[in-house]
Amino acid sequence: MVVGQFSQETDLVVIGGGPAGYIAAFRAAELGVSTVIVDSREDGALGGVCLHDGCIPSKTLLHIAELINQSQRGAEFGITLPKPKVDFAAVRAWKDQTIKKLAAGLEASCKKHGVERITGRAHFEDSRNLGLLDASIPRIRFKRALIATGSHPKMHATIPFDGQFILTASEALAMQDLPKSLLIIGGDYQAMELATIYAALGCAVSLVHEGSQLLPEADPDLVRPLTKQLEKNVVAMHIGTLVRRVEVDKKGAAVAFGESGSGKPQRFDRVVITAGHIGNTRGLQLEKTQIKIDAEEFIAVDSQMRTANPRIFSAGDVTGAPLLADKAIAQGRVAAEVIAGRDSVFDARCVPVTIFTDPQLAWCGVTETHAKNAGIDHAVSKVPWGASGRAAGMGRSEGMTKIIYEPGTQLVLGVGLVGTQACEMIAQAALAIEMGATLTDLAQTIHPHPTMSELLSDAARKVE
């Protein structure tokens, strides 16, 4: 502490305590870099949106939804179970307990690595000094800085969030009561996962999406089984439909759909909107650092997580799509190692995408749709899960495995999965792509039988 200036000096200051931020801080400390994390979360807990408002609460609730759905399938196997009774207070308590336990683990890691934490709102004064608001000190003087501030929900063009009846995805995961009726506006992974959760918990869920396909970034044949299942679980699904008008009163929201919106509005207790994200860069005063942001307020970085300012790095969601915690973790580690003087590079051939719906979707590498649109020479091999003894025995034969490969070399370009446990299986495909595997490599790899994972080698052998 430099008393005369009321500022603290450090080798590295990390702005943001989410996956990119805390991983970078811990790795930098391991490599001997004096590190401070500044995060604006009022309770001072590390983990960011992923732990407290996104990945962990959603996947915890999705596991509970899976238990409910599985119990209702028992009759198919001759086991009739009573309809599950949902104690929503207990569900929330389990979710909160899970978050608290993981947050405590991060706190212990912080102490173990000797990383100092400061709660406050940060902004750059210049390329060497970080000003702090609502913090124990007013300023940090740094040698290097890492921006890992994440992203926040994009506002809907005409429907403002109010935190009570019109909610973001994070607010929907934190609801204190279980609404009788819920409208979800959107077609991305958050919309799909929220529909899965709240339909299983007993809400009358309706889904509206203005596009022609749910999950437009995924191949249509992978999305189709999920769409069919959602149609069974939700009260109504409106694809290719615009929301024309939303009126909020003391009891909920009245929503008008359709081309003109002139029909009788439908009432909902809550409305959730998923309209994408923008980078958390407002308030950082990046204009004082020469760092540039794009139209979505994301920061441009190179393969070593360097920004346009040589002293300042960035990692995680704030650097743009794909907005995934696993990518953020990898980028945070690279940034820390570069800051510590190592020649690390973020050069992942693929970043797996996992959607924990029922059935699950997962893919990595080149999708068939992208290959067609980009003119990439490719071929496709598909194996439906009806051929799997394991899937048939579980009553989950709606799944599919597909491989996108280069015809001449048979190099694996991409893999897509839909079906139960797809999110756990996709890592094998990501490893294959990273290692430059061919169809022969997959075909000759012995997979345990009976499992759904063996269908990856079956799809490869189908070509041979």
449 catalytic residue (yes or no): yes
Helices (H), 136-177: 169-173
Give long-range contacts, CB 8 A cutoff, 24+ apart: 71-74: 73/395
Is the preceding omega at residue 450 within 30 degrees of 0, hence cis?
Answer: yes
4/246 Cα distance (integer angstroms): 56
Which helix (H) or strand (E) element contains residue 190? Answer: helix 189-201
Coarse DSSP helix, strand, coil percentages of the chain, rounded to the nearest 5 percent: 35, 25, 40
Contact 46, 70 (CB under 8 A): no
User: How does DSSP classify residue 198?
Assistant: H
Amino acid in the structure at residue 156: H
52, 113, 378, 449: the catalytic one is 449
Contact 425, 453 (CB under 8 A): yes
User: How does DSSP classify residue 54?
Assistant: S
420/356 Cα distance (integer angstroms): 9
- State the chain's maximal CA–CA distance in angstroms: 77
Dump the DSSP string for 432-450.
HHHTT-BHHHHHHS---SS
344/313 Cα distance (integer angstroms): 13
Residues 6+ apart with CB under 8 A from 165: 248, 252, 253, 269, 270, 271
Tokens 């759909």, located at residue:
257
Return the sign of the alpha-carbon dihedral for residues 36, 41, 47, 49.
Answer: negative
* Residues known to be catalytic: 449
